[in-house]
Amino acid sequence: MRTIGALSMALVLCSVACGGTEETDVSEGNLQSTADLTFAADGSVRATGDLVEGGLLKVHYDAARLPGCRGDFQGRPGWTITGFASVGGAQAQTFDALDASKAVKLTGNGDLALWFQVTSRWGCSEYDSKLGANYHFTVQKRESVPGASIVFDASGNPTQTGELKAGGKVKIHYAQDRLATCRGSQGGYPQWSLTGYASLNGHAAKAFETTEATRDGNRSDTDAFVELSESGDLALWFQNTSRYGCNAYDSKGGANYHFNVR
């Protein structure tokens, strides 16, 4: 949520020409690359597909996340939920958060900020904006879309799709249920984090996040993108830590998970 009051109204009235996103009708299908973001009633956010410059974003928003400001007028709802999308800090574009037949066209790249507002004809207004911080995602440049992915399901060996190539990227999806220990929350916020580590050819490992916090004191899976700067051996492992000193690893018994980068 950027501001409240006059500026909020200005955002609602902003035309498509103001910034880097625009709303597109996809009810009859669309051949462009489409990603989905699901904002569930429990406060979690789930991403499916890649957010790519020039592609489309479909937002599935559960109205139960903003239960206030309800009321009927002449037999119809007197309230609505509006979504706001800003790419790279540009002026936010608006969309009907409850119309799944519409999609936001991503005409820029960089940081994508999303937030939501319920309003009624009687002047009531409430926000879903991660306590003012907004929900953030990365829109990739078209040429930087990873051609490979590695998925760590809740159990079993990881699954690789596509070839890992030097100079490219790999998308890593890690199911947090693989490391179910070292959990706990305080004041509605998770007191643990699940971090991935990537090392190419034995170089210093680079850390990446595999989850993000939700409003129900838990965390949801999120995709990570690891740059492959050179060919050779890619080693991956994961660590779950809590503020109470608990540590747990998923590292194939200390041997780590290894993949070949060509």
User: CATH number, domain at 71?
Assistant: 2.60.40
**CB contact at 8 A, 115 and 134:** yes
The tokens for 181 are: 């220990």
Same domain (yes/no): 125, 154: no
Query: In this structure, are 80 and 160 located in the same domain?
Result: no
Structural domain containing residue 133: 6-143
Contact status, residue 84 vs residue 117, Cβ threshold 8 Å: yes
Tokens 């879309």 locate to 145
Specify whether 125 is located in the same domain as 182.
no
Residues 6+ apart with CB under 8 A from 246: 181, 182, 192, 240
Q: How many CB atoms lie within 10 A of CB 262?
A: 10
Q: Which of 83, 111, 143 is the last residue of a domain?
A: 143
Together in a domain, 115 and 223: no
Residue 3 phi/psi, 5° resolution?
-145, 170
Average pLDDT over residues 163-172: 90
The mean pLDDT value of the chain amounts to 84
pTM beyond 0.85: no
pLDDT tier at 28, thresholds 50, 70, 90: very low
How much is the pLDDT for 108?
87
- Evaluate whether residue 1 is within a structural domain: no
Pick 162 or 143 by higher pLDDT: 162
| Residue 54: both structure tokens together | 């020039």
> Does residue 195 belong to any structural domain of this protein?
yes
What confidence category does residue 143 fall into, taking pLDDT thresholds of 50, 70 and 90?
low
In a domain, 256, yes or no: yes
Q: How many CA atoms lie within 13 A of 203 on its CB side?
A: 13
Q: Find the mean pLDDT for residues 31-48.
A: 84
Secondary structure element (H or E) that encloses residue 6, with its range: helix 6-12
Residue 203's CB is within 10 A of a number of other CB atoms, namely: 12
